[in-house]
């Protein structure tokens, strides 16, 4: 009991000023004093009738992207000075920097459709620096469609996040692949990070599981039940079709890409017992890196170095997380108790997030929650507390967010949260959805 209490204290400081420097350096920016930013609705720049709908999509997307980013305190719109603002000439600094808005930053601009073109101008102003306020000025051109308006908002949001978030790329343009059974069969689906634009990727009519983006985003590796059993399959997002990957025999599941995209680790029972194997990205040069009776499954690479692998092993009874060098040497047990599965290594290499029934056994609550563990110290923090089974956590590319599955709402759905456990919200609602995997950029 002592350690969790001590760690709770450490954790409290982790997300506040004492460890703030550490969090900045390690790349999440969470826990730092948040930048107070105002995001007034963009103004129509032309008289085109399409402007109204496109502006609604653009403004909603930009506002929610900045709110979701985890590094901003977005000023409530009710505090904004009156009057539309579309160009630098409209900015009245005192109204934004003074009470009640008290904004440090102001993101504003305009959108206008002319014929078949949509033009967006966006600025980011440091409203307390009246002499030289401009931090960012961008112009975008695209087709006048809702999808293009949403994408443009994501791009502008990512520019702002990049400038104000310590030089880390935002996630507004990232996507999530997941398993959905909404068609009656478990297929691979893809969506924008905020749950928009959900679309089916595979149409195999079997059971497809464990989708994993390649680091360059060109492919999805996953496992599927085929005529010969469970095989690792490969889908090319560039060619929009399945591409070849070898069949190894036995049960082949849970693929994981090395961060440089040259290798894939997965679990195979081709030798009779489920073990972790590593192959080249094309499936060649297969090497077994574990050899111990009991299931070995769910590998994840150190995303910063690619030099270590963590995975789940049942060799000692209930599944625990183990770690070794990428060639399988120096294997060590990482979790000490309970039932620990589904590890995902953070982009900065410092943390694991995984699903844990920490006190498993008679009389224990047996809740399955998402945890974050510092690899060097093995100190952990519990990120979900709201009941249900929470599983399959995966980091966002900026390391500030975690996507996971939870059945706390009654059905299994995809949820996102900040990596400190705040801002938990569902991003899917239709059918049953599970095993999310966030794109690498």
Partner 1 sequence: MRFLQRRLPFRAAADERRLTCAARLGTHPHGGEVKLKLKWISLILALSAVIMLSACKKKVAPPPPPPPPPPAAPTASLTANPNAIDKGQSSTLNWETSNATDVSIDGVGAVRPTGSQSVTPPESTTYTLTAKGPGGTQQATARVTVNAPPPPPTASSATEEELFSQNVKDIYFDYDKSDVRGDQQSSLQSDVAFLRQHPNIGVTVEGHCDERGSTEYNLALGDSRASAVRNALVQGGVAGDHVKTISYGKERPFCTESNEQCWQQNRRGHFVYQK
Which residues contact partner 1 (rule: CB under 8 A)? 186, 207, 209-210, 223, 225, 229-230, 250-251, 253-254, 267, 269, 272-274, 294-298, 312, 314, 317-319, 339, 341-342, 355, 368, 389, 391-392, 434-435
Torsion on CA atoms 414, 418, 421, 427, rounded to nearest 10: -20
Phi then psi for residue 227, to 5 deg, are -60, -30
The Cα-based distances of 207 to 90, 273, 404 in angstroms read 56, 22, 20
Q: Which is nearer to partner 1, 210 or 416 (CB)?
A: 210
CB of 229: closest distance to partner 1 in angstroms? 6
CB of 391: closest distance to partner 1 in angstroms? 5
Q: How far is CA 264 from the centre of its chain?
A: 20
Q: Which is nearer to partner 1, 98 or 295 (CB)?
A: 295
CB of 314: closest distance to partner 1 in angstroms? 7
Q: Which is nearer to partner 1, 99 or 272 (CB)?
A: 272
Q: Cα(59)–Cα(434) distance, rounded to whole angstroms?
A: 30
Q: Which is nearer to partner 1, 80 or 230 (CB)?
A: 230
Q: What is the DSSP letter of 381?
A: E
Phi then psi for residue 224, to 5 deg, are -145, 150
CB of 267: closest distance to partner 1 in angstroms? 6
CA angle 54-193-378, nearest 5°? 155
Q: Which is nearer to partner 1, 36 or 185 (CB)?
A: 185
The answer to whether 20 touches 30, Cβ cutoff 8 Å, is: no
Nearest CA-CA partner of 436 in 392, 370, 372: 392
CB of 368: closest distance to partner 1 in angstroms? 8
CB of 373: closest distance to partner 1 in angstroms? 17
Q: Which is nearer to partner 1, 186 or 303 (CB)?
A: 186
CB of 67: closest distance to partner 1 in angstroms? 31
CA angle 409-411-416, nearest 5°? 60
Please count the CA atoms within 13 angstroms of the CA of 171 that sit on its side-chain side.
30
Q: Cα(80)–Cα(163) distance, rounded to whole angstroms?
A: 23
DSSP 178-200: EEE-TTSSBEEEEEETTS-S-EE
Q: Cα(202)–Cα(29) distance, rounded to whole angstroms?
A: 36
CB of 207: closest distance to partner 1 in angstroms? 5
Q: Which is nearer to partner 1, 382 or 407 (CB)?
A: 407
Q: Cα(412)–Cα(391) distance, rounded to whole angstroms?
A: 10
Give the residue carrying structure tokens 């030089």: 167
Q: Which is nearer to partner 1, 63 or 339 (CB)?
A: 339
Phi then psi for residue 264, to 5 deg, are -130, 130
Q: Cα(397)–Cα(238) distance, rounded to whole angstroms?
A: 20
Q: Which is nearer to partner 1, 319 or 421 (CB)?
A: 319
The answer to whether 101 touches 94, Cβ cutoff 8 Å, is: no
Q: Which is nearer to partner 1, 175 or 434 (CB)?
A: 434
Q: Cα(429)–Cα(437) distance, rounded to whole angstroms?
A: 17
CB of 414: closest distance to partner 1 in angstroms? 14
CB of 274: closest distance to partner 1 in angstroms? 4
């Amino acid at each position: 009991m002592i350690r969790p209490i001590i760690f709770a204290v450490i954790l409290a400081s982790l997300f506040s000023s004492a460890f703030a420097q550490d969090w900045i350096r390690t790349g999440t920016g969470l826990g730092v004093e948040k930048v107070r930013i105002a995001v007034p609705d963009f103004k129509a720049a032309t008289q085109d009738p399409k402007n109204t709908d496109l502006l609604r999509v653009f403004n909603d997307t930009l506002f929610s992207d900045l709110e979701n980013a985890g590094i901003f305190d977005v000023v409530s719109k009710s505090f904004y000075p009156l009057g539309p603002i579309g160009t630098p000439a409209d900015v009245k600094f005192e109204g934004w920097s003074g009470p009640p808005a008290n904004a440090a930053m102001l993101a504003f601009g305009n959108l206008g459709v002319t014929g078949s073109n949509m033009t967006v101008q966006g600025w980011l102003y440091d409203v307390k620096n009246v002499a030289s306020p401009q931090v960012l000025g961008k112009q975008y051109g695209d087709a006048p469609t809702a999808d293009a308006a949403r994408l443009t908002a994501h791009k502008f949001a990512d520019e702002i996040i990049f400038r104000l978030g310590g030089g880390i790329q935002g996630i507004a343009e990232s996507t999530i692949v997941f398993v959905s059974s909404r068609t009656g069969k478990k297929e691979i689906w893809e969506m924008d990070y905020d749950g928009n634009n959900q679309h089916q990727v595979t149409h195999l009519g079997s059971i497809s599981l464990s989708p994993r983006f390649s680091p360059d985003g060109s492919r999805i590796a996953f496992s599927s039940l085929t005529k010969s059993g469970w095989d690792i399959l490969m889908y090319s997002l560039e060619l929009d079709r399945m591409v070849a990957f070898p069949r190894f025999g036995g049960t082949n599941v849970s693929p994981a890409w090395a961060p440089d995209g040259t290798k894939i680790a997965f679990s195979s029972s081709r030798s009779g017992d489920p073990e972790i194997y590593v192959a080249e990205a094309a499936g060649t040069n297969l090497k077994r890196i574990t050899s111990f009776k009991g299931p070995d499954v769910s590998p994840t690479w150190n995303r910063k170095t690619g030099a270590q692998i963590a995975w789940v092993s049942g060799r000692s009874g209930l599944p625990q997380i183990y770690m070794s060098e990428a060639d399988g040497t120096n294997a060590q047990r990482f979790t000490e108790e309970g039932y620990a599965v589904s590890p995902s290594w953070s982009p900065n290499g410092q943390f694991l997030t995984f699903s844990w029934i920490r006190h498993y056994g008679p009389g224990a609550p047996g809740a399955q929650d998402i945890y974050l563990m510092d690899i060097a110290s093995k100190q952990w923090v519990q990120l979900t507390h709201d009941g249900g089974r929470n599983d399959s956590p995966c980091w966002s590319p900026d390391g500030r967010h975690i996507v996971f599955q939870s059945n706390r709402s009654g059905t299994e759905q995809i949820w996102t949260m900040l990596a400190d456990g705040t801002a938990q919200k569902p991003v899917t609602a239709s059918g049953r959805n599970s095993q999310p995997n966030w794109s690498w950029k």
